[in-house]
Amino acid sequence: MTEGNSKFEELPEALVSTDHPGFSFIWLVPLVALIIGAVLIYKEYSSLGPVAHIQFQSAEGLTPKKTEIKYRDVVIGKIKTVQFSQDLSHVVVEAQLNKGMEVLLSPKTRFWVVRPRIGATGASGINTLFSGAYIAMDPGNGDGYAESFVGLEEPPKILSDAKGRSFRLRANSLGSISVGSPVYHRQIQVGEVTGYRLVPDQGYVALDVFINAPNDKLVRRNTRFWNVSGMDMEVSGGGLKVELESLMSLLAGGVAFDASLTLGDDQSAAEGTVFQLYASRTESQEKTGQLSLPYVLYFDDSVRGLSIGAPVEFRGIPVGKVLDISLEKNVTDGLVRIAVLVGLEPELIPFGNKDPASDQEMRKAFFQETLEKMVAKGLRARLMMGNLLSGQLIVDMDFDQEAGLASIDYSGKYPVLPTTPGSLSSITNSLVAILGKLKRLPLEEMGTHFLNVSEGLDVLVNDATLQNSLQNLSLVLQRAERILSVVENKTSPLMNEITSLSLDARKMVQQAERTLDALAKTTSDQGSMGGELINTMRELAAAARAVKGVADYLERHPEALLQGKAR
């Protein structure tokens, strides 16, 4: 024990100092690290902007804290988390945007995932094959601020800052048209289809198209759009005609329009104007309207040659089409009559309201009111031959000045327009009436009487007495002609003598007047010259009486001009 204790005693003893040495510099290292970390954390959080919550159907290609958010290919944020919604119907992406991006968030802001896509209109997002998918953003033109959005499953075709105008098209069927299909004008792409949807309650397909500026000014109110999907083939007398707008339209479909000037309303169309999309260019050149109002026509004529789709014309101008032809029982008399359902288009009626800006109900009311006035003035519908070779009938509307008073009947399912017999029916009825009158005539008695008259005329013409009478009449006419010739030859000299005598008498009177004037100035009526003058006047008076006697004699005996005075 003593040995062990001695060994412990030999060990050095620790000295305990009671004085503190102060702060150690070793603590500067963690302190500096803490300060740097705090600065970095502050810098990180101070540079953060708003947080946006975006809904997508799936999170394909999206990775938290890695997938970027871009605007115009500039990174403006990243995805923080990707979570399911409460009902698990979609995913919610929490996106952290950079500071100052609040101005880009509005109720109209749109987000979509950029992935590699290959479609009929082309390929997009090919660069994401190497860099990965990202979320693109379009800020829109809305006011206000929003943080919750519903992401688009397809990239938008038109961004908010695109220059141009959008229009709407109505079509009976979609055909090969899809989102992104080009819109052509004179085979140059000037826009594209941005969307389509079915309107089942009205039975048509609605399409949205966007025309880039400045070509949007080419769209006027009377512009016609038609479908150029595929290839248009037409066989006519000139041979086979094939039309193809472009190879792109053959694969992905397309729409074309024509901005040619016409007699219609050629003012520039406002944004959102609705146009009809026709199946072909040929159909677009046929005037049709977007609003078709049904009316029923009842005809007593035969409708052989009238088919569904036949035109309804007003003085040769198409104003509608035949929609249906059927037999209908008349509730008043129980007879079967022919009912023709036609669709009249107010835009094509010459007296219709052509203001495209007016409401459809307003245009319909204006058209019906005007049509009632026209019917009161004699507007009637009738069947008319449209093609003499094929026998095709059309419905013609025109004013009938002899028509009685009538009005539109609104008591049935469709309004009923008054009709009048067609031209062919009128001719047929007239022929039937004429044949009926001819049938009532006593044709046998008339024929017998006519035969008797003919026989009497034959006897009279062939009678020898009539022949002699005609010969005698011919001789009398020849003698009368010779007498008139002689009278003309003798009358002409006598008339010349009478004319000369009248001229001489006129000269004598004039000379006597001059002589009397001269004598009146130089002599009086009491002298010898006055006596001579009186004698001269007496002689003149006698000469005048002689002339008058000759004239009176000729008046009593005009034959003296030919035979001379009887002795």
Q: Confirm whether 178 is domain-assigned.
A: yes
DSSP 157: S
Q: Which of 150, 174, 199 is the last residue of a domain?
A: 150
Q: Count Cβ neighbours within 10 Å for each residue of 175-192 and write b for 16 or more, e otherwise.
A: bbbbbbbbbbbeeebbbb
Q: Which band of pLDDT confidence, cut at 50, 70 and 90, is reported for residue 190?
A: very high
Place of tokens 């040495």: 21
The type of residue at 516 is: L
Mapped onto helix, strand or coil, the DSSP state of residue 387 is strand
Total number of domains constituting the chain = 4
Residue closest to 121 by CA, chosen among 214, 191, 197, 226 = 191
Residues 273, 244 share a domain: yes
Mapped onto helix, strand or coil, the DSSP state of residue 158 is coil
Residues 99, 61 share a domain: yes
Query: How distant, in Å, are the alpha carbons of 321, 330, 409, 417, 437 from that of 412?
Result: 20, 12, 7, 12, 41
Residues 169, 145 share a domain: no
Q: Which of 150, 180, 213 is the last residue of a domain?
A: 150
- Name the least confident of 44-53, 152-161, 194-203, 355-364: 355-364
* Predicted pLDDT of residue 24: 64
Question: Which residues are registered as beta bridge partners of 81?
Answer: 94
Express each pLDDT in 48-91 by its tens digit: 788 889 999 988 888 898 888 989 888 888 898 999 988 888 99
Q: Which of 255, 284, 313 is the last residue of a domain?
A: 284
Residues 238, 135 share a domain: no
Residue 20: pLDDT over 60: no
Query: Range of 398's domain?
Result: 294-430
Residues 188, 143 share a domain: no
Residues 267, 186 share a domain: yes
Residues 241, 127 share a domain: no
* Predicted pLDDT of residue 237: 41
Q: Confirm whether 456 is domain-assigned.
A: no
- Whole-angstrom distance, CA of residue 262 vs CA of residue 256: 18
Residues 132, 108 share a domain: yes
Residues 103, 68 share a domain: yes
- Calculate the CA 305 to chain-centre distance: 27
DSSP 216: G
- Whole-angstrom distance, CA of residue 324 vs CA of residue 336: 16
Q: Confirm whether 199 is domain-assigned.
A: yes
Residues 425, 299 share a domain: yes
Task: Order across the sheet with 379-387: list the strands.
Answer: 379-387, 392-399, 311-314, 317-329, 336-344, 293-299, 416-417
**Cβ–Cβ < 8 Å for 265, 221:** yes
Express each pLDDT in 357-393 by its tens digit: 456 677 778 888 888 888 888 888 888 887 767 778 8
Q: Which band of pLDDT confidence, cut at 50, 70 and 90, is reported for residue 515?
A: low
Residues 241, 261 share a domain: yes
HEC-encoded secondary structure of 249-292:
HHHHCCEEEECCCCCCCCCECCCCCEEEEECCHHHHCCCCCCCC
Q: Confirm whether 136 is domain-assigned.
A: yes
Q: Average model confidence (pLDDT) for the chain?
A: 76
Mapped onto helix, strand or coil, the DSSP state of residue 461 is helix
